[in-house]
Amino acid sequence: SAFYSNITVEKKGKKNNVGFIQLNRPKALNALCDALMKELQTALSDFSKDEEVGCVVLTGSNKAFAAGADIKEMQPREFAEVYKGDFLGFWNSISLFKKPIIAAVNGYALGGGCEIAMMCDIIYAGEKAKFGQPEILLGTIPGGGGTQRLTQAVGKSKAMEMVLTGDQISAQEALQFGLVANVYPVEELVDKVMEKAEKIASMSQIATGMAKEAVNSSYEMTLAEGIHLERRLFHSTFATILKLAINSIGSCNMGIINAKL
Ligand code: CO8
């Protein structure tokens, strides 16, 4: 990926069906400067168009997933500029990505780093990972969804504690509070996450897309609306399941699923 200077982008997995993005700005602990975020957006947009890719993994280094928004870049900015330019608004595009996306977090996931991880569908952590929203220590508050997604993930008391004190939590605490789906030894994290990603990527892309849409709708809709949407999406999979059944005549082995359907 010669095209990128703040991230590396490749396709991985035995079937080359996992989009793999590594934040790679080591001199600033992957602080999320504008250039990095634009590259991330471009890479995701390419993966969304790539039919082979059924799942994306987003990771950083062993020391830092990302140490937050770029403080040096933000320092000179003033109200009029950030308001008129809707600063951080475009970050939310990560949460609108249609394919499953998994964050593999080793080291620091602070401020914007924690927020980007929470925009992903699943977070897995390495044993030394640290999550925090330290904005309050700088006299500001989270601006990339932290007050909302963290509260939904860990509940009000823990979220308030983190947002009001800036204190970090460990990988084990993140697991206990439901922020992450599992914790692995640092050196094994990426391999373990790749196993999950390859498994997801081997499923019907229509089904994983709909499953993701249905789960995410639980944050946006009433229970009745969400259940209605789920049932309609479920019904609509009968259009693709039929084709899969024809494809798999003579076999009940689901491995034969065409991941593009
Ligand atoms: N932005 C820019 N550069 C950073 C950032 C960052 N968020 N984090 C680390 N760096 C840089 C350091 O400046 C340093 O660069 P240099 O060597 O050129 O000075 C390099 O990365 C290595 O960092 P450290 O030497 O500090 O490494 P340590 O291992 O000693 O410490 C820490 C690691 C604890 C993660 C420490 O770097 C740290 O506390 N970083 C900042 C964490 C933070 O507060 N993040 C910002 C959260 S706020 C946010 O995301 C959105 C709202 C912000 C509004 C700000 C308005 C001005």
Do the Cβ atoms of 102 and 189 come closer than 8 Å?
Answer: no
pLDDT above 60: residue 257:
no
pLDDT, one tens digit per residue, over 132-155 is 999 999 999 999 999 999 999 999
- The mean pLDDT of 210-229, rounded to a whole number, is 97
pLDDT above 60: residue 256:
no
Alpha helices in the chain (DSSP H): 34-49, 71-74, 79-84, 112-119, 146-154, 156-165, 171-176, 189-201, 205-217, 223-247
Of the residues 65, 71, 135, which should be mutated to test ligand 1's pocket, given the most ligand atoms within 8 Å of the CB? 71
Q: How confident is the model at residue 255 (pLDDT cuts 50, 70, 90)?
A: very low
Around ligand 1, the residues with Cβ closer than 6 Å are 28-29, 31, 67-72, 74-75, 108, 110-112, 134-135, 138, 140, 143
Which pTM does this prediction carry? 0.94
pLDDT at 259: 59
Q: Which strands form 108-110's sheet, in the order they lie side by side?
A: 64-66, 108-110, 130-132, 169-170
pLDDT higher at 64 or 241: 64
pLDDT, one tens digit per residue, over 165-210 is 999 999 999 999 999 999 999 999 999 999 999 999 999 999 999 9
